[in-house]
């Protein structure tokens, strides 16, 4: 399957369990890989026939801007649900990082892989 990806998308959101994390938005970084059939776009050379990563990035930014979660897992789950609802993605891998939270580490985060739920 073909892939469309976004790496290092920097967003700001209210995220965290501890009191000191709840006062201002923190930087989170998104790495996203989405399975999508690119064969039609390759033939037509039209953005209408592909997965527009600009629109995906914009939507993720809007989600982060409006969000107020304690856990990265909850934010990621919300992002994944929206991506499956609004874009024709069949499968995705979402890495969500908080690079500024642990002074002794370069980065911390989660990686979630999901397939589009089968409609019953």
Domain residues of the chain, as ranges? 3-115
pLDDT tens, residue by residue, 103-118: 999 999 999 999 998 8
Residue 103 catalytic?
A: no
Q: What is the CATH class of 3-115?
A: alpha beta
Could you give the CA distance from residue 29 to residue 106 in angstroms, rounded to a whole number? 12
Could you give the CA distance from residue 18 to residue 64 in angstroms, rounded to a whole number? 18
Helices (H), the chain: 39-44, 53-66, 72-86
pLDDT tens, residue by residue, 6-43: 999 999 999 999 888 889 999 999 999 999 999 999 99
Catalytic: which of 43, 98, 103, 119? 98
Q: Kindly report the number of other CB atoms within 10 A of residue 44's CB atom.
A: 11
pLDDT tens, residue by residue, 38-85: 999 999 999 999 999 999 999 999 999 999 999 999 999 999 999 999
């Amino acid at each position: 399957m073909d892939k469309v990806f976004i790496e290092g998308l920097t967003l700001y959101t209210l995220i965290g369990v501890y009191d000191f994390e709840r006062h201002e938005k923190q930087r989170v970084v998104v790495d996203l890989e989405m399975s999508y059939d690119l064969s039609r776009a390759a033939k037509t050379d039209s953005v209408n026939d592909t997965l527009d990563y600009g629109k995906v990035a914009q939507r993720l930014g809007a989600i982060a801007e409006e969000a107020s979660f304690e856990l990265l897992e909850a934010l990621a789950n919300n992002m994944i649900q929206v991506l499956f609802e609004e874009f024709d993605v069949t499968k995705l891998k979402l890495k969500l990082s908080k690079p500024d939270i642990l002074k002794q580490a370069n980065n911390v985060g989660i990686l979630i892989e999901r397939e589009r739920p089968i409609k019953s």
